[in-house]
Amino acid sequence: MILRFALEPADNTRLARVCGSLDVHLREIEAALGVKLSRRDAEFRVDGPKPAAERARSLLQALYERARRPLPAETLQLALVEASGPDGGVAPAGEEGPLVLRTRRADLSARTPRQHQYLQQILSHDITFGLGPAGTGKTFLAVACAVDALERSSVQRIILTRPAVEAGERLGFLPGDLTQKVDPYLRPLYDALYDLLGFDRVTKAFEKGQLEVAPLAFMRGRTLNHAFVILDEAQNTTPEQMKMFLTRIGFGSRCVVTGDTSQIDLPRGVQSGLIDAERVLAKVKGIAMTRFTSADVVRHPLVARIVEAYEARAKREAREA
């Protein structure tokens, strides 16, 4: 199928931002969607299967709207992820319309159908598991839901935790007090908070006791009422730690557990608590599980291809075993 259209109103600056230097953005769109693009000024011709051609047209028109300002590299990459996904990457809005979360990021939304499902499950279940490869938004979306719940006064505090397990290195005895020792392990959680709330709001929330970031070992013996609790990097828990954590949940609380079972840093022979929980809790009422794949990766497209390559190797080794 051949589609012809023009980007309007005519604006050479916006057109240059959409096409990129030497039309490099158009070449990326061709590779992602499997179409052939050509243009003369603002008039475009798209050659390819009808669904792909229509996606390419919609993508170019959407980018042209955003191009009133310079387009960051990640804008194009995320747009390509959305356009190349099922149904054009547009997550179903549902009967109540698209999900709107109260964070500093006004453009925050699900970018794939599975991310939309994940958000829906977090809002409708007391305990939600998000499993899948890096870059699928498991932790970031969970933190966004926690910030939204705090902003709406649905919970009184946010508690973020993760096991302090070294990723293949031996870091030795770190200097400083306890907070400084565990800070490197929890840095990704801080980064998400700063992005969604801003540095000043995060600092004030810590001072008021509305935010707590702690290693998993500190959860033992506690009962967490009226809190939004997130356990990150859960693949590095043991079954005993996972059971301990899940039984901390109290009244008015919501819990999200995230992890990637392909990146386990536990000592050899130690079972992952996330894999164990996925099997044991699969049919427990009130617990939801979202399993992400490489198709949900919303980082650089190369990340998705890296994930797919490792998954393919794992499958080959499983068949040969």
Do both 54 and 11 map to the same domain? yes
Number of CB atoms found within 10 A of residue 282's CB: 10
More confident residue, 281 or 301: 281
Q: Report how many domains make up the chain.
A: 2
Rounded CA separation 124/273 (Å):
24
Taking alpha carbons only, the member of 32, 36, 47, 49 closest to residue 84 is 32
- Within this chain, do residues 110 and 233 fall inside the same structural domain, yes or no? yes
The answer to whether the beta carbons of residues 125 and 257 sit under 8 Å apart is no
Distance CA 24, CA 77 (A): 12
Which of the listed ranges 75-84, 107-116, 236-245 does the model predict with the highest average pLDDT? 236-245
Does residue 199 share a domain with residue 50?
Answer: no
Same domain as 122, residue 202: yes
Least trusted range by pLDDT, from 90-104, 195-209, 238-252: 90-104
For residues 141-147, give the mean pLDDT: 92
- Residue pair 130/258 in contact (Cβ under 8 Å)? The answer is yes
**What pLDDT was estimated at residue 127?**
95
Whether residue 66 sits in one domain with residue 14: yes
CA–CA dist 279, 321 (Å, integer): 22
Q: Provide the CATH number for the domain around residue 41.
A: 3.30.1370.10
pLDDT value at 99 more than 70: no
pLDDT, tens only, 174-225: 566 556 666 777 788 888 899 888 899 999 999 999 999 888 888 888 889 9
Predicted local distance difference test score (pLDDT) of residue 92: 46
- For residues 24 and 153, state if they share a domain: no
In this structure, the answer to whether residues 27 and 124 fall within a common structural domain is: no
- Region 62-79: mean pLDDT is 82
Amino acid at 49: P
Residue ending a domain, among 70, 88, 106, is 88
Q: What is the rounded average pLDDT of the residues 132-140?
A: 89
Alpha-carbon distance of 36 to 31, in angstroms, equals 9
Clarify whether residues 73 and 164 are in a common domain: no
User: How high is the pLDDT of residue 96?
Assistant: 44
Q: Of 88, 113, 142, which residue is a domain's last?
A: 88
Domain that holds residue 53: 2-88
Which run of H or of E encompasses 231?
strand 227-231
Domain closes at, from 88, 105, 140: 88
> 288 and 160 in one domain?
yes
Least confident of 20-29, 148-157, 174-183, 195-204: 174-183
Q: What DSSP state is assigned to residue 42?
A: T
CB neighbours of residue 74 within 10 Å: 11
On whether the CB atoms of residues 274 and 254 are closer than 8 A, the answer is no
The CA distance from 294 to 268, in Å, is 26
Prior bond to 9 cis, omega within 30? yes
Please give the average per-residue pLDDT across 264-288, as a whole number. Answer: 92
Residue reference for tokens 């990640």: 74
Distances (CA, A) of 318 to 71, 260, 307: 43, 18, 17
Mean residue pLDDT across the chain: 84
Q: How confident is the model at residue 95 (pLDDT cuts 50, 70, 90)?
A: very low
CATH number at residue 169: 3.40.50.300
Q: What is the pLDDT of residue 43?
A: 92
**Which pLDDT does position 182 carry in this prediction?**
66
151 and 250, same domain (yes or no): yes
Q: Which residue has the tokens 């000592």?
A: 267
Mean pLDDT, residues 82-98: 52
Helix axes 24-33, 12-19, angle to 10 degrees: 50
157 and 286 in a single domain? The answer is: yes
Residues 224, 287 share a domain: yes
